[in-house]
Amino acid sequence: MTHARLTVEADGGSRGNPGHAGYGAVVRDASGAIIAERAGYLGFVTNNVAEYNGLIAGLEAAIAVDPDAAIAVRMDSKLVVEQMNGRWQVKHPDMKPLAARARDLASGHTVSYEWIPREHNTAADALANEAMDSRNPAISRDHGTTGPGVGPEYDDPEPKPTPKAKSIRELYARELVSTLSLVLVRHGVTDMTVAHKLSGSGVTGPPLNAAGRVQAAHAADGVYRIGRDTWHTLAPVSRVLASPMRRTQDTADAVGRRLGLTPILDERAREVDFGDWEGLTAQEALERDGDLIRQWDRGDVPAPGGESLTDVVRRMGTFIAELAAEHARACAAEDVPRTIAVVSHSVAIKSLVAAALDFPPVSVARIWPNPASITVLQLRVTPEGEIAEGHLLALGIPTS
């Protein structure tokens, strides 16, 4: 059977980075039907290595289905898509041979590469997770395809070797990763905090009250001491980002004055949107919508007219990925370590920690940074701007 066009959706992931990893790829025909699935467990490697293995498996499967078809590759790895489109260089030694293999496969074929959001890549993601769960090195399924090179007689019974991943210590020693430190500061209390009312990002919200302003001053002093009197392994904070809510602006202003820095308002650091629950206590939300708030606490259910914890974790994952990319560009220009203070909110900070450490969204409800507390994260960042590893150094340290 011939095809004018085939679509490859590829993905890879690791549980920990590096960690136990797997890849997945599906091939779809012009109708969108899946005609081939490929997946495999890779052992202990990085997510980028897994992503490239997914791409290679997808290209091999598509070419086997019909070597004359145009191939549209869709992936949620911006790094792989940009490198295969030639806009970003491939610098990491583990990825160079994989990128070369992918280019060799594409040579002589019409292949395009498109980035897609993670939620549009669920089939390949499910295959990658199947491989990680089963530890099966070679999963191959074809669905009624009769084109050349497809079928059990063509399946390679031996998994293809992949380059051995370097340990994070070796990468760090060879200056192939740099450290980005994030000092996450929760705002001081407001009248709504004291009344235990839900205060999200749907409205600008209240200012700090008198107690909150005292807390903000203590937090500012705590941030100032980092890299000076405490946490000597960290560089002093050189940048302050703040959620645009009034309470975080008030807190960030105190931090900025102490550091001699001007805070930058950053929409990415905003709190969860509580929607119709804004201004209610948890008990009032329970009386209004029954068990919905308990379901919201478990992660996937959004507040009425607002966000779910899964939404916020995903949003914070994008935030830290963008900060990592910005850090890599700064290191390429300046070659200096950086510590950034992010003045934010309870749910936002908890979600950022979950995103950085690959915790499930349900874990967000079990973390509680108190007002004006400090949480410290360190991210190991590759020259390509990818997060190689995340560490939680401190969670919710009180400053007063």
DSSP tally for the chain: helices H, then strands E: 12, 12
Nearest of 72, 69, 89 to residue 10 by alpha carbon = 72
40: β partners: 23
d(CA 390, CA 223): 21
* Region for residue 299 given its phi and psi (left: phi exceeds 0; alpha: psi -120 to 50; beta: otherwise): left
Of the candidates 187, 345, 384, 389, the residue annotated as catalytic is 187
Residue 326 among the catalytic residues: no
Residue 187 among the catalytic residues: yes
Q: What amino acid is encoded at 349 in this protein?
A: I
Q: What is the DSSP letter of 365?
A: G
Report yes or no: 18 and 168 within 8 Å, Cβ to Cβ: yes
Instruction: Give the residue ranges of DSSP H helices in the chain.
Output: 47-65, 78-84, 96-106, 122-134, 168-173, 191-194, 210-225, 246-259, 282-289, 292-297, 309-334, 346-357
Q: Sort 82 into a burial class: Cβ within 10 Å, 0-12 / 13-18 / 19+.
A: middle
3-state secondary structure of 286: helix
Of the candidates 271, 307, 384, 386, the residue annotated as catalytic is 271
Sheet (strand 139-142) strand order: 111-115, 70-75, 5-15, 19-28, 34-45, 139-142
Cβ neighbours, 10 Å, residue 167: 11
Report yes or no: 347 and 353 within 8 Å, Cβ to Cβ: no
Secondary structure (DSSP) of 98-161: HHHHHHHHHTTS-EEEEE--GGG-HHHHHHHHHHHHHT-S-EEEE-S--STT-SGGG--SSPPP
Hey, what are 309's tokens?
């914890």
Q: What amino acid is encoded at 335 in this protein?
A: D
Which are the catalytic amino acids? 187, 271
